[in-house]
Structure 1
Amino acid sequence: MLKDVPARQRVPLPKLTKANYYDTETDWPYMSVSLFKSFMKCEAATMATLNGNGLSDTNETPLLVGNWVHSAVESEAAHEEFKQEAGEKVLTKSGKLRAEFKQADLMIERLRSDAFFNWAWQGEHESIVTGELFGTEWKGKIDCLDVENGRFFDLKTTADPLKMIWSNRHGGRVLWVTAYGYLLQMSIYKHLLEQTYGKHFDAYIIAVSKSNHPSVRTIDLSREEGRFQIEDDYVKSHLPRILAIESGEIPPLMCNHCDWCADHQLGENTVTIDDLEIEANER
Structure 2
Amino acid sequence: MAKINGEYTEPSSEALLFGSYVHAWLEGPEAFDEFKQNTPALFTNKGQLYKQYQLADIMIETIQNDPLCMFVLTGRKEEIITADLFGVPWKGKIDVYDPDAGRFADLKTTRALRGKIWDNELGYCSFVEAYGYIGQMALYAEIEKRMTGRSEWLEPLIVGVSKEDPPDKAVINIDESRMAVELEDIEKKMDRILQVKHGGQKPERCEKCRYCRRTKQLDGIIHFTELIG
TM-score by length of 1: 0.74
Residue number in structure 2 paired with 1:50: 4
In 2, the alpha carbon distance for the partners of 1:56 and 1:93 equals: 26
Residue number in structure 2 paired with 1:118: 70
Deviations along 1:120-156, one digit per CA (max 9) or x if unpaired, are: 2222100011111122111111000001122000111
Map residues 37-186 of structure 1 onto 2, 5 A cutoff. Answer: 47-57=1-11, 59-87=12-40, 89-92=41-44, 96-170=48-122, 172-186=123-137
Is the counterpart of residue 226 in structure 1 residue 180 in structure 2? no
In 1, the alpha carbon distance for the partners of 2:6 and 2:106 equals: 29
Following superposition, the deviation at residue 95 of structure 1 comes to: 5.5
Q: In structure 2, do the counterparts of structure 1 residues 51 and 114 end up closer, same or farther at CA, with 3 Å as the change threshold?
A: same
Letter in structure 1 aligned against 2:28: S
Map residues 25-36 of structure 1 onto 2, 5 A cutoff. Answer: none
- Which sits farther off after the overlay, 91-100 or 137-146? 91-100
Deviations along 1:244-281, one digit per CA (max 9) or x if unpaired, are: 011111122222223322333334x33564xx755741
Residue number in structure 2 paired with 1:206: 159
Higher relative contact order (CA 8 A, sep 6+): 1
In 1, the alpha carbon distance for the partners of 2:209 and 2:117 equals: 19
In 2, the alpha carbon distance for the partners of 1:232 and 1:195 equals: 14
In 1, the alpha carbon distance for the partners of 2:226 and 2:83 equals: 39
Letter in structure 1 aligned against 2:148: Y
Instruction: Structure 2: state its 5+ residue gaps.
Output: none
Please tell me whether the aligned partners of residues 65 and 100 of structure 1 are also in contact (alpha carbons under 8 angstroms).
no
Following superposition, the deviation at residue 215 of structure 1 comes to: 2.7
Deviations along 1:186-218, one digit per CA (max 9) or x if unpaired, are: 000000111112223000001112233223210
CA root-mean-square deviation: 2.0
In 2, the alpha carbon distance for the partners of 1:136 and 1:122 equals: 31
Letter in structure 1 aligned against 2:32: H
Following superposition, the deviation at residue 100 of structure 1 comes to: 3.2
In 1, the alpha carbon distance for the partners of 2:75 and 2:47 equals: 36
TM-score by length of 2: 0.90
Secondary structure at the counterpart of residue 6 of structure 2: coil
Secondary structure at the counterpart of residue 2 of structure 2: helix
Aligned residues: 227
Residue number in structure 1 paired with 2:200: 249
Deviations along 1:80-126, one digit per CA (max 9) or x if unpaired, are: 01101111x10247763112331111111121121122222222100
In 2, the alpha carbon distance for the partners of 1:102 and 1:263 equals: 31
Report percent identity of matched pairs.
33
Secondary structure at the counterpart of residue 89 of structure 2: strand
Please tell me whether the aligned partners of residues 209 and 216 of structure 1 are also in contact (alpha carbons under 8 angstroms).
yes
Secondary structure at the counterpart of residue 48 of structure 1: coil
Residue number in structure 2 paired with 1:17: none
